[in-house]
Structure 1
């Protein structure tokens, strides 16, 4: 049975017409029920005929990740979901609240193959890529739970999005399409640890989404120690791909930089970053490291402020990202997607 969430608009319309014999205009009605009203039972789609509802049930399921556990931060309201998938695997996703917006942080893989030292997800190994429907379905499940239309999406949860390239782009098509979720592409961010050929390919995609690159160190010597992917794709190769992406799109690239005490937090490190960026248009998000498998520590406020000031004084747009959800292990690098036995009882 096909998960209807795996279909983009044109694919769904084509299948309904050619394979099931349902009229073309019904596509809009079905999408409105699922993506606007968050109704996940064909029987509740009351403006469809009984025959059409029967055809839909015979050909599709609406498979939404199921909430196993939900945690809400007592500090800032950040909400973390542990979702169960149809095959028994589990993932985590997060809703983050800011005064002016709500952001959904969604996952793209069960686990992660990159095994970055500061990231809990990678330490648990890699199982598989998520399907298009499993990626988009996380947002629908969270929206239904909180009864809010979320307008900002970051692909920064579990996994490396560019290693699940096609399904990620297909899910963006669904989330962005005006007859489906209708989230503005500029409010969608793809985060990557740096897969150069895929970064270059993103430059050819006709969507206004944003690119964020997890850099975390200004040199290969440092990056090799915390990000094994750097052995395959060194800093210079990643930066060249970002330059090609920027030349194609004329869009600013955001760089994520986790600050680790005594490792990459000096003024000299900041100056190396400036040199690495050259004349690129960039934004730098500085992230004091969260609780992590390697027991890295946060730098002092003095070191964080000095690093930030060095970048700004050299003309680099930079901010220190506000920590959200750390008390429930929902912050950057803390998602595990593991389920304990007691959660299943």
Structure 2
């Protein structure tokens, strides 16, 4: 069975012609799914009963069900546990920062990158999410928010998984998200975060007509140290990553976000800050300093005075450096905390 929500608008039109229908029927299906959030053929009332029966024999939709919602008492963010058609689970998070509502979207069940300070990595990779499973997270979050007459303002691919490790499905999902006949988000409101898969990063920029925002989880400037905590550096060294960032075809006024998780007594010294400033010299970047969210996997948050001293070094070097709010940390919905109730292999 083919899943209609895994198909682009063009592919939906093609499928309809294969059924002997006019291409505009594909556009109707697309509108029902992404403009109206309907994933039940029987509710698509401008399709004939005969066509709906024909479609039901050959097509379906990805099953994705809300099984738990937890709201932060600290900031109002909401973590949503979702169950997929094969009974695997993912988490997605509505991050609430004043009027700004950001959907934190997962791209994989688990992750194979192995970053030692991340709870998702402790699951290992179970599988990639399909196009429909990626996009449907956003639709589900907007449906939940609609109960309060709210909707997402931003999308970040910072949930479970490494987005660029599922690049083909990610790119197709982004096209639906940006399409004015799809979810109609501006490319300025969508951010993809990566731990540094250099080849895939280049490919993403080659394949997307409207480049979205980029965030790079750097965290270490010395490649030997980075390899110890982020195995991706064995294949893609820091030097190769920074060189790639320097040569990306960025649009004017767009800056790369550098994410730097501060780990107590590991990468939080003023000397580490000086090394970071040197590595990033001349790059159009802004730096998000992330205070590590304490967990049960053996790392601790940097002291507040160290965080402020680290930021001051960067500011004194003329860099834009911000201490990122840790939204959803009390519900294990913040950076590095998602694990969808799987057992973490510590």
TM-score, normalising length from structure 2? 0.93
Name 1:41's counterpart in structure 2.
40
Q: Indicate if the aligned counterparts of 1:118 and 1:293 stay in contact, CA closer than 8 A.
A: no
SS at match of 1:256: strand
Q: Indicate if the aligned counterparts of 1:110 and 1:129 stay in contact, CA closer than 8 A.
A: yes
Name 2:308's counterpart in structure 1.
305
* Separation (CA, whole Å) in 2 of partners of 1:127 and 1:156: 17
Q: Structure 1: any 5+ residue segments left out of the alignment?
A: 341-345
Alignment RMSD (CA, Å) = 1.7
* Separation (CA, whole Å) in 2 of partners of 1:291 and 1:55: 53
Q: Within the alignment, does 1:239 sit opposite 2:238 as a pair?
A: no
Structure 1 residue 249 displacement after superposition = 4.5
Q: Which moved more, 1:19-28 or 1:41-50?
A: 19-28
SS at match of 1:322: coil
Q: Deviations over 1:96-141 (max 9, x none)?
A: 1122321111111111001111100001111111111111111122
* Separation (CA, whole Å) in 1 of partners of 2:247 and 2:296: 34
Structure 1 residue 23 displacement after superposition = 2.6
Name 2:180's counterpart in structure 1.
178
Q: Structure 2: any 5+ residue segments left out of the alignment?
A: none
* Separation (CA, whole Å) in 1 of partners of 2:138 and 2:205: 25
Name 1:73's counterpart in structure 2.
72
* Separation (CA, whole Å) in 2 of partners of 1:78 and 1:199: 30
Structure 1 residue 281 displacement after superposition = 0.4
Q: Which moved more, 1:27-36 or 1:173-182?
A: 27-36
Q: Within the alignment, does 1:94 sit opposite 2:96 as a pair?
A: no
Q: Indicate if the aligned counterparts of 2:171 and 2:204 stay in contact, CA closer than 8 A.
A: no
* Separation (CA, whole Å) in 1 of partners of 2:250 and 2:96: 33
Q: Indicate if the aligned counterparts of 1:258 and 1:288 stay in contact, CA closer than 8 A.
A: yes
Structure 1 residue 35 displacement after superposition = 1.3
* Number of aligned residues: 338
Structure 1 residue 224 displacement after superposition = 2.1
Q: Deviations over 1:52-102 (max 9, x none)?
A: 222222232122411121111111111111111111211111111122321
Within 5 Å, give how 1:11-50 maps onto structure 2: 11-16=11-16, 18-50=17-49
SS at match of 2:120: helix
Name 1:336's counterpart in structure 2.
339
* Separation (CA, whole Å) in 1 of partners of 2:321 and 2:250: 23
Q: Deviations over 1:316-345 (max 9, x none)?
A: 1111110111111000000002369xxxxx
